[in-house]
Structure 1
Amino acid sequence: MTSNGEKKLQLYSYHRSSCSFRVRIALNLKGFDYEYKPVNLLKGEQKTPEFLKVNPIGYVPALVDGDLVIADSFAIIMYLEEKYPQHPLLPRDLAKKAINYQAANIVSASIQPLQNLDVLNYIEEKVGPEAKMPWVQKHIGKGFAALEKLLQNHAGKYATGDDLFLADLFLAPQIHGAIKRFNFDMTPYPLLGRLHEAYMQVPAIQDALPENQPDYPST
């Protein structure tokens, strides 16, 4: 319960999930003390009957706000933005808002789905484990090249200026995962590399990092 007697927001999350990472950043920026509900994807907990009642497609994240359950990171973030206006996640300027949507969609539609656990497991099964890393790095590179071009005339301290907005919520986890999980060389992408360094200094992003989550492995 919160101090005024309302139920805390609940976030079903997995520490390594970049989609969950995005939502954790949004919740932190908006100042929520939420309840973390871990779902271990490697153990298949997303496929249990209990979790499928929360999200029938069996993916994290899922957010519970009172009697409402919202799945899909984009839907969750847009819901939070509409209902809880503190720390706006979209700029007022229409052109800048459009750039934020484009950058977020490059990550959410053209990079992340091609590196998620189901896809990588399928590639390992049908082709072999040695095929996974080249596949991931190819699609990260294609997306990052597009993002470098998209943001080159819009970036400031962050993706579209000196304030954190929607694009940053999607970029920070994607770049972090590319470096830490997929050993991706950021040298050809200096703008994104600079953004990564800036993101790692932001408390709301630091607190949302995989290693700072309660379900992060202790060993």
Structure 2
Amino acid sequence: MATGSRSGDKNQLKLYSYWISSCSHRVRIALNLKGLNYEYRAVDLRKDEQFSPEFSKLNPVGTVPVLVDGDFVVADSLAIIMYLEEKYPQYPLLPQDLQKRGINYQVANIVSSSIQPNQIPLYLRVRLPKYTEKVGPYESLAWAKCSIEKGFTAIEKLLKDHSGRYATGDEVFLADLFLAPQIHAATNRFHVDMTQFPLLSRLDEAYNETPAFRDTTPEKQPDAPAKAS
């Protein structure tokens, strides 16, 4: 595992991340928004480092991201973000308005539970030879794009009466942390035609103009391949 330290504090937060992981991307945004220094510890999924004995002690499920805060370890992007929200209240990631908060939860759930799981077949096609034998080279990509487009269509309708500069108004909240990485993946990895989604395209422009988002993109991470920069 590679390490990219952002300060010398031995008690600082440690984020186990993979550069192109959208789940890790969400957490990086949260950390940036809250102004928290952290040590970046790269876990190379292509080399199966997530299954190493060292990493398995942190997260037996074998997924990133994982956050280490002193003696406490928490995995899963939503769990990490909510932990950060509770412990580090600066720059709240949830609105005070209960209904607006509900919209944020709904968007986050659509991305993490409806869209993202259906992108896994593309990963399997790359990683598992047996899967490649059963699924052609383009079927899994088409399946992922279909899932993304279906989810994006729902989110466009959901946010129609709630969006401002960002997903649910003029401040960044939880929904934005989930949307920005998903839109980035849709555009750069799955080649989704974003002209179908004018509202999301407008949000993406706002994210690209916001330093906390811009500095967390996959290509700017310490473990990103040179060609991705």
Q: Cα–Cα, structure 1 residues 32 and 125, in superposed 2: closer, same or farther, change >3 Å?
A: farther
Residue 75 (structure 2) pairs with residue 71 (structure 1): yes
Q: Which residue of 2 aligns with 1:151?
A: 159
In the alignment, which of 211, 215, 219 is matched to residue 223 of structure 2? 215
Q: Cα–Cα, structure 1 residues 119 and 95, in superposed 2: closer, same or farther, change >3 Å?
A: farther
In the alignment, which of 161, 172, 177 is matched to residue 169 of structure 1? 177
For 1:82 and 1:145, locate their aligned partners in 2 and report how far apart those are by CA, in whole Å. Answer: 32
Q: Cα–Cα, structure 1 residues 42 and 166, in superposed 2: closer, same or farther, change >3 Å?
A: same
Q: CA deviation at 1:118?
A: 4.9
In the alignment, which of 16, 20, 28 is matched to residue 20 of structure 2? 16
Task: Quote the sequence identity (%).
Answer: 63
Q: Which residue of 1 aligns with 2:206?
A: 198
Q: Which residue of 2 aligns with 1:137?
A: 145
- 2:99 aligned partner, one-letter code: A
For 2:76 and 2:6, locate their aligned partners in 1 and report how far apart those are by CA, in whole Å. Answer: 25
**Secondary structure, counterpart of 1:129 in structure 2:** coil
* Structure 2 unmatched ranges of 5 or more: none
For 1:125 and 1:25, locate their aligned partners in 2 and report how far apart those are by CA, in whole Å. Answer: 38
Q: Which residue of 1 aligns with 2:119?
A: 115
User: CA deviation digits over 1:15-67, x for unaligned, max 9?
Assistant: 00000000000000000110000001111111111111111000000000011
Q: CA deviation at 1:113?
A: 1.6
Q: Which residue of 2 aligns with 1:188?
A: 196
Q: Which residue of 2 aligns with 1:57?
A: 61
Please say if residues 124 and 132 of structure 1, whose CA atoms lie closer than 8 Å, have aligned partners that are also in contact.
no
Please say if residues 91 and 165 of structure 1, whose CA atoms lie closer than 8 Å, have aligned partners that are also in contact.
yes
**Secondary structure, counterpart of 1:63 in structure 2:** strand
For 1:124 and 1:16, locate their aligned partners in 2 and report how far apart those are by CA, in whole Å. Answer: 22
In the alignment, which of 92, 104, 107 is matched to residue 103 of structure 1? 107
For 1:125 and 1:60, locate their aligned partners in 2 and report how far apart those are by CA, in whole Å. Answer: 27
Q: CA deviation at 1:124?
A: 3.2
RMSD over aligned CA atoms reads 1.9
Please say if residues 120 and 132 of structure 1, whose CA atoms lie closer than 8 Å, have aligned partners that are also in contact.
yes
